[in-house]
Structure 1
Amino acid sequence: MIDSSFDRQLDGYGLTTAKILYRMPDHPTLLQTYLWQEYDLAPQFPELTRFLEFWRRELDGPLHSVEVAYRRLVGDREWRQVDAMALLH
């Protein structure tokens, strides 16, 4: 059975890390950092977009900025299908 994260990587997903700066609800002059990491599709980043929409809708700390890093871990050149295997002594 293939791991679901590996299966997503084969579908073009890459590891996305977002550094989110937000203002503290009780102290709006202070910024706090939150790191978010998930497999996502560049350049639209639908998973990150859903998370940020959730943040704006459900959490009290207003967003200040979001910095995104993205890396495809498995590409076309790193993977190929094997149709047969042979065992040598």
Structure 2
Amino acid sequence: MKSEMEMMLKGYGLTTAQIFYHLPDHPILLQTYVWQDYDLAPDFPEMKGFLKFWQETLDGPLHSVRYVHRRLIAAGEWRALKGEFILH
């Protein structure tokens, strides 16, 4: 398992998906589920894998998915600095 910092340096960002699905016993009603993980845009392999698992395993059929993705750090933003600031 890679650390979060390693994943962010490789371009992964935090992806949050709001999943709307029909309740199995009451298909007219919608329920929401929030999923969050580090994923790689624009292909989103982690989210697609989770949605595939959902469709193959869980009873509540999917209605729709809304998601947002944010890269928290990019390789070009990371640099080593030497020096120190002394306060007081």
Which category of TM-score, normalised to the shorter sequence, fits these structures?
0.7 to 0.9
CA distances 1:52-85 after superposition (whole Å, capped 9, x unpaired): 0000000000000000100000023431145xx5
The unaligned stretches of length 5 or more in structure 2 are none
The unaligned stretches of length 5 or more in structure 1 are none
Quote the residue 1:16 is aligned against: 15
State the superposition RMSD in angstroms.
2.0
Quote the residue 2:3 is aligned against: 4
Q: Structure 1: which 4+ aligned runs deviate by more than 2 Å?
A: 85-89
Give the TM-score taking structure 2 as reference length. Answer: 0.87
Quote the residue 2:58 is aligned against: 59
Give the TM-score taking structure 1 as reference length. Answer: 0.86
- The alignment-based identity, stated in percent, is 56
Task: Give the count of matched residue pairs.
Answer: 85
Quote the residue 1:49 is aligned against: 48
Paired with 1:88 and 1:8, the residues of 2 have a C-alpha distance of 29
